[in-house]
Structure formats: C-alpha cells, structure tokens
C-alpha cells in the first residue's frame, strides 16, 4: 500500500472518484467480496475517510499506523507459521547481507525466500512453468493445477508479507518490493571492439534451454545485483508492454496461460541486454536492517545469537507441515462452498421447474 503516494495526492485534493481510483493511488489490486472488505479494513489503519456516493473523501492520514484489531477467538492475527517465518527471516538477516555501510541490505526474490524457508519444495518453481505437462503427468485437470498455483502462491506471499510487516512494525527492518537488475560487468580491461556482452544459449540436463552471459574479449564478466534506477525501471516497463502487445496479450497472467512466458521473457531480456547492458531482472524483496538490533531480537527469542542448526531445521520442517495443512484446509473450504453453491443452484432449478408446471 503506497501511503506516500496517497499523501502526495492528499496535498492536492481529498476527493477520490471511486474505489478503483483509490486502489490506483495506493497501488494495490482491485478486489471484490470479502477480500475487498478486508482490504478496506486494512486501509482504515492508515487513514480516516467518509463516503459520498461512490466517492471516497479522505479526512485524515494518520501519522502512525493504527494497530490491527483482531476479532478472532485466539485474539492473535498472526498465524503460527507467520511467527516462524518472522524468526527465520531474522535468522537469515543475521547470517548474511550485512555490509560495511553500517546497515544490512538483502535482495531476495519471492521464490528464493519461499525455498529458503521450506515453504515450497524444489519441484514447485520448475513445475509452475510447465503447468500443462504437470497436469498431464499428475492426471489432474489443468484448471485445478492453475488454480492451485494462483491461490497458494498468493497465500504464501501474503504470509511472507505479513511477517515482513510485523518485523517492520517492530522497527527491526524496512522492506519494499523492488525491481532488481543484474548488471553484466566485464572484468577484463576494455579492448577496442571487444566490449560487447554476448548471450549464450545451451541445453541443460533437463533438455531445457538455459542462458548465460559472456564477455567477448575473454569470457570474464561479473554479475552485479542492484536496485533498478527510475530510468531502467521505465525502460523495462515500456519494453514489457511493447512485447506484450506484440504477443497479443494484455497481462502477464495471459502470457503464462497461453504458454508464451519464455518467448516473452527472452524477447524482453534480449532488448534489455542490448540497450541497458543488463543481463536480467526480477522483482525482489529489498530488506534493510540494523544487524545489532536483529541480533538482539534473536537473542530475546532464543537466548543466543543465531538459531542453532537443529532448531532451524525443525522450524522449517514445522513451517512446511503447517503450510501443507493450510492448503488442504483451504481446498476443503472451497470444496464445501462449491457443494453448497451447487445444491442452491439445483434447488433453484427445481423451484423454477415447479413454478413453470404450476
């Protein structure tokens, strides 16, 4: 939720045309039903508003976010495994990412974090790009596989963000989702006519096409990971949209659905490499922290500076079990709701037929 953007908007006007426009300002997804209710509830922690028809009139943007009020029985809005994720994040931060600038900084993709914390296994990401084949191999309806990934990916990311928010709320970290770019830097001295980064495609052990990057002069390049600047961000955005249009799609979801993700990615990456000298890019979580405070927080939890290996393994194992359990419970709910819905439809149809006979 981009409250800074809302604050900027608020300087000019306190009236927002409708819910959709509000979402655009806050840079959040437009939702429906219960998700929308939950989202609006969450917004109410950041600002006070009243409604005039469809319009949202912002009365005040709070200087401090209001705490979450939870009405559930256990009075704890943080699921058990969100707490485990929090501890694993702290442990990950204390182990790496610190630099000599007096603060720590890590860039990690969603999937890297999922994998590191055992929220998914090794098959997850690989199979996600091959849904049709996975559906055939497992003999499961393609729509069910797609739905499984959509819903569970969202759930896992929500849990991860919940844990990050909780740590941010304790002022232990500051996080944001940023575009990370990987610069290809030639290590060798730049020679005349030999400054080009060359992309090489090859087939790996799984018969999959892979790509690596070489410096034409002597093969030595270094990949430097950093946050994209505004210019790069804008260029990548424009290139993605151009290629999306070329492929006749209007969203990344459609590109994946039509099995064109690799074509899309290759085309965009080629242009980005040629124009910006960036090997590739991805969305990642940028986490800033102070190592001293993180160590103290871990010390408070465990009475020592780092999670001992056994504890870490058992935490990850527990998290994995919890997540599996949650996916099953959610599927059960969907199944029960669908049966209820189906019975309603059948009941309505029966009534309609009766009505027609009478």
Q: Which residue number, 41 or 241, has a Cβ lying nearer to another protein?
A: 241
**Residue 267 Cβ, how far from another protein at the closest point, in Å?**
8
Its sign, for the CA torsion 241, 242, 243, 246, is positive
Q: Nearest distance from residue 151's CB to another protein, in Å?
A: 9
- 3 state SS for 105-162: EEEECHHHHHHHCCCCCHHHHHHHCCHHHHHHHHCCCHHHHHHHHHHHHHHHHHHHHH
Q: Considering beta carbons, is residue 346 or 353 the nearer one to another protein? A: 346
**Which CB, 99 or 343, lies closer to another protein?**
343
Closest CA to 115 of 323, 330, 328: 323
> Which tokens go with 208?
């999959």
Structure token digits, residue 101? 């600038």
The residue (of 8 and 341) whose beta carbon lies closer to another protein is: 341
Nearest-CA neighbor of 165 among 78, 75, 96?
A: 78
Greatest pairwise CA separation for the chain in angstroms: 91
Evaluate whether 315 touches 307 at the Cβ level (below 8 Å).
Answer: yes
The residue (of 168 and 322) whose beta carbon lies closer to another protein is 322
Q: How far is the CB of 260 from another protein (least distance, A)?
A: 9
DSSP state of 73: T
Q: Which of 122/309 has CB closer to another protein?
A: 122
151: alpha, beta or left, given left = phi > 0 and alpha = psi -120 to 50?
Answer: alpha
- Contact between 182 and 224 under an 8 Å Cβ cutoff? The reply is yes
Residue 14's nearest CA partner among 60, 66, 45, 63 is 60
CB of 154 to another protein, least distance (A): 14
Query: Shortest distance, CB of residue 269 to another protein, whole angstroms?
Result: 13
**2 versus 209: smaller Cβ distance to another protein:** 209
Q: How far is the CB of 128 from another protein (least distance, A)?
A: 8
Q: Which of residues 219 and 250 has its CB atom nearest to another protein in the complex?
A: 250
Which 3 state secondary structure label does DSSP give 186?
Answer: strand
Residues 6+ apart with CB under 8 A from 349: none
* Least distance between another protein and beta carbon 320 (Å): 5
Point out which residues bind another protein (CB under 8 A): 118-124, 126-127, 130, 133-134, 137-138, 140-141, 143-145, 148, 152, 203, 206-209, 246-247, 262-263, 266, 316-317, 320, 323-324, 327-328, 331-332, 334-335, 337-339, 341-342, 345
What is the DSSP secondary-structure string of 255-294? HHHTT-HHHHHHHHHHHHHHHH-EEEEEEEEEEEE-HHHH
**Nearer to another protein by C-beta: 225 or 317?**
317
Min dist CB 81 to another protein, Å, is 12
Q: How far is the CB of 340 from another protein (least distance, A)?
A: 9
């Amino acid at each position: 939720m981009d409250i800074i953007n809302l604050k900027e908007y608020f300087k000019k006007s306190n009236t927002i045309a409708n819910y959709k426009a509000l979402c655009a300002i806050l840079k959040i997804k437009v939702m429906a039903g219960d998700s929308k209710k939950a989202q609006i509830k969450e917004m109410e922690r950041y600002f006070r508003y009243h409604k005039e028809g469809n319009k949202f009139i912002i009365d005040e943007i709070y200087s401090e976010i209001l705490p979450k009020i939870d009405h559930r029985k256990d009075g704890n809005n943080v699921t058990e495994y969100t707490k485990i994720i929090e501890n694993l994040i702290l442990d990950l931060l204390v182990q790496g990412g610190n630099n000599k600038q007096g603060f720590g900084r890590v860039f990690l993709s969603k999937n890297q974090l999922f994998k590191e914390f055992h929220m998914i296994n090794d098959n997850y990401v690989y199979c996600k790009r091959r849904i049709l084949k996975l559906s055939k191999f497992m003999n499961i309806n393609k729509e069910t596989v797609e739905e499984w990934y959509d819903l569970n990916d969202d759930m896992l990311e929500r849990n991860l963000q919940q844990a990050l928010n909780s740590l941010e709320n304790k002022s232990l970290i500051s996080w944001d989702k940023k575009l990370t770019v990987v610069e290809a830097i030639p290590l060798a001295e730049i020679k005349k006519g030999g400054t080009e980064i060359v992309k090489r495609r090859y087939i790996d052990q799984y018969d999959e096409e892979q790509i690596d990057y070489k410096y034409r002069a002597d093969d030595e390049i270094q990949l430097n990971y950093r946050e994209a600047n505004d210019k790069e961000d804008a260029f990548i955005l424009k290139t993605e949209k151009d290629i999306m249009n070329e492929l006749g799609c209007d969203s990344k979801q459609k590109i994946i659905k039509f099995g064109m993700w690799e074509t899309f990615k290759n085309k965009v990456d080629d242009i980005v490499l040629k124009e910006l000298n960036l090997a590739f890019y991805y969305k990642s979580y940028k986490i800033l922290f102070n190592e001293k405070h993180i160590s103290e927080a871990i010390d408070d939890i465990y009475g020592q500076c780092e999670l001992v290996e056994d504890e870490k393994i058992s935490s990850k194992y527990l998290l994995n079990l919890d997540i599996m359990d949650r996916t099953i419970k959610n599927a059960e709910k969907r199944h029960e709701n669908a049966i209820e819905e189906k019975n309603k439809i059948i009941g309505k149809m029966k009534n309609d037929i009766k009505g027609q006979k009478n």
